[in-house]
Amino acid sequence: MTETSEFFNPELETLNREQIEELQIERLKNTIQHCLHSAFYKQRFKEAGLEPEDIKTLDDLRKIPFTTKQDLRDNYPFGLASIPLNECVRLHSSSGTTGNPTVILHSRKDLDEWANAVARCLWMVGCRPSDVFQNTSGYGMFTGGLGFQYGAEKLGMLTVPAAAGNTKRQLKFFTDFGTTVVHAIPSYATRIFEVMQANGIDPRHDTKLRTLVIGAEPHSEEQRRRIENMLGVKAYNSFGMSEMCGPGVAFECKEQNGMHIWEDYYIVEIVNPDTLEPVPDGEIGEMVLTTLNREAMPLLRYRTRDLTRILPGECPCGRHHKRIDRMKGRSDDMIVLRGVNIFPIQIEQVLMRYKELGSNYLITLQTNEVNDSMTVEVELSQTYTGGPDAQQALTKSITSNLHDEILLTPFVKLLQPGSLAQSEGKAVRVKDLRKVY
Ligand code: AMP
Ligand code: ZN
């Protein structure tokens, strides 16, 4: 491709609907044959009385049972491997820490394709080899680190793998290296601006920042516009999940109106999370994804639990790959806060270890000026008699144990017994006040 081309993979990005579907059915058939090398899918197909030949059209996909995160946990660590382990070159594991984590395996080819998908996304929003790309994601199991690293390198940008935190150092890199493109989770983008202000840096005049890639956690259109205005950049929404490699699954084009999902890599279905029946385009439901070119660990009809919808109509950018709307929430109780996956039960487990505490608690998630935050309010036990000093020490201990469990530091507030509202039905444990929808 040339710098002036709008497309990184012109032949794949400009396929029309008919061509996309032709490619999908061919790749789906191959994927199914390949899946049957894994102990898990072999068993699944046997149980469902399914033969690979039963899948002849894209509609036949619906004959295949769903795959869930629980399946990944139950078959931890390598039960879904479709190639021998000695042909795998990397694994990523989810950030959630309840029960067995999930493991995602990658072959060399998987990593190349993943880098290609990310490069394609970055190119789509105007990144070119002359850009300087700084990644503020953690480099480790979180796929936002290595995922963007290899994608940006594949595109040919000068990359600055700054990794997470140390905002002052990030700012020095911006100015010293002439960073033009930054990847940051939305809550960190706001933090960057705050530190710029504190240090008298004007992003418009003192840096060359032009493009921001934000993703990994829910954020609203308003939040995006605020970030754009603060930093003087264009900010593009990026959707990814470890089970589908990581970033590079769906990405906004320059129209900033929905994220194109790369349909040569994935089949997207939107289903009603209760009936599991498909919903028409334009209606919100749970996104289900099937991988089409994964070697090490293909996934069929994976329930992402993310709620979104297909945006009907054509995108003026010339790509016919479907667009999904900004994420609307999740159909399970997993919280995604600042890119970290947390299940409320993890918090409960920590609280319930304290005999000083009662059993009522409430987790509140909020969007503050700077960051999304979590507050955990918990009632003291009826028999607790500790004074202010003891309560302060107790708060400190709970905060530190929660941090060890969920990898984020929540605000902890102790309440008198009976202070939290008693709900009529199921206890409401999580109040999500973040500005997302
Ligand atoms: P992980 O596998 O740890 O990267 O987490 C993946 C989850 O993060 C997804 O299933 C979504 O719930 C959430 N997520 C990722 N990207 C976005 C995004 N752009 N907007 C909203 N939520 C996102
Ligand atoms: Zn487009």
Q: For residue 143, which atom of ligand 1 is closest to its CA?
A: 4
Domain containing 321 equals: 1-331
Last residue of a domain, one of 331, 362, 390: 331
Ligand nearest to C-alpha 314: 2
pLDDT digits (tens, 9 = 90+) for 50-68: 999 999 999 999 999 999 9
Average pLDDT of the segment spanning 57-82: 96
Residue nearest atom 4 of ligand 1, based on CA coordinates: 241
Please state, in angstroms and rounded to a whole number, the distance separating the CA atoms of residues 397 and 391.
10
| Residue of higher predicted confidence among 330 and 25 | 25
- For a ligand 1 pocket test, name from 91, 143, 239 the mutation site with the most ligand atoms within 8 angstroms of its C-beta: 239
* Pair 302, 346 in one domain: no
* Pair 283, 390 in one domain: no
Report pLDDT for 98: 53
Query: Is the CB of 217 within 6 Å of ligand 1?
Result: yes
Report pLDDT for 97: 47
Q: Are strands 372-380 and 357-367 parallel, antiparallel or unpaired?
A: antiparallel
Average pLDDT of the segment spanning 130-147: 95
Report pLDDT for 411: 96
Q: Is residue 64 part of a domain?
A: yes
Report pLDDT for 423: 56
Q: Is residue 437 part of a domain?
A: no
pLDDT over threshold 60, residue 95: no
* Least-confidence region, from 207-216, 308-317, 425-434: 425-434
Query: Is the CB of 104 within 6 Å of ligand 1?
Result: no
* Pair 138, 249 in one domain: yes
pLDDT digits (tens, 9 = 90+) for 378-424: 999 988 999 999 999 999 999 999 999 888 999 999 999 889 886 55
Last residue of a domain, one of 298, 331, 364: 331
pLDDT over threshold 60, residue 313: yes
Residue nearest atom 9 of ligand 1, based on CA coordinates: 241
* Least-confidence region, from 195-199, 233-237, 426-430: 426-430
Question: What is the DSSP secondary-structure string of 280-308?
Answer: -TTS-EEEEEEESS-SS---SSEEEEEEE
* Pair 77, 123 in one domain: yes
Average pLDDT of the segment spanning 159-188: 95
Q: For tokens 């205005």, name the residue.
A: 229
Q: Is residue 383 part of a domain?
A: yes
pLDDT over threshold 80, residue 1: no
* Pair 278, 367 in one domain: no
* Pair 283, 207 in one domain: yes
Report yes or no: 148 and 102 within 8 Å, Cβ to Cβ. Answer: no
Local confidence band at 427 (pLDDT 50, 70, 90 cut-offs): low
* Pair 320, 411 in one domain: no
Ligand nearest to C-alpha 320: 2
* Pair 316, 395 in one domain: no
Q: Is 18 helix (H, G, I), strand (E, B) or coil?
A: helix
Tally the domains of the chain.
2
pLDDT over threshold 50, residue 337: yes
Question: What is the DSSP secondary-structure string of 104-151?
Answer: EEEEHHHHHHHHHHHHHHHHHTT--TT-EEEE-S-SSSSHHHHHHHHH
Q: State the chain's mean pLDDT as an integer.
A: 93
* Pair 2, 137 in one domain: yes
Read off the CATH number of the domain in which 384 is found: 3.30.300.30
* Pair 127, 15 in one domain: yes
Last residue of a domain, one of 273, 299, 331: 331
Please state, in angstroms and rounded to a whole number, the distance separating the CA atoms of residues 16 and 49.
35
Q: Is residue 427 part of a domain?
A: yes
Please state, in angstroms and rounded to a whole number, the distance separating the CA atoms of residues 258 and 320.
12
Q: For residue 304, which atom of ligand 1 is closest to its CA?
A: 10
Ligand nearest to C-alpha 259: 2
Report pLDDT for 382: 85
* Pair 291, 425 in one domain: no
pLDDT over threshold 70, residue 120: yes
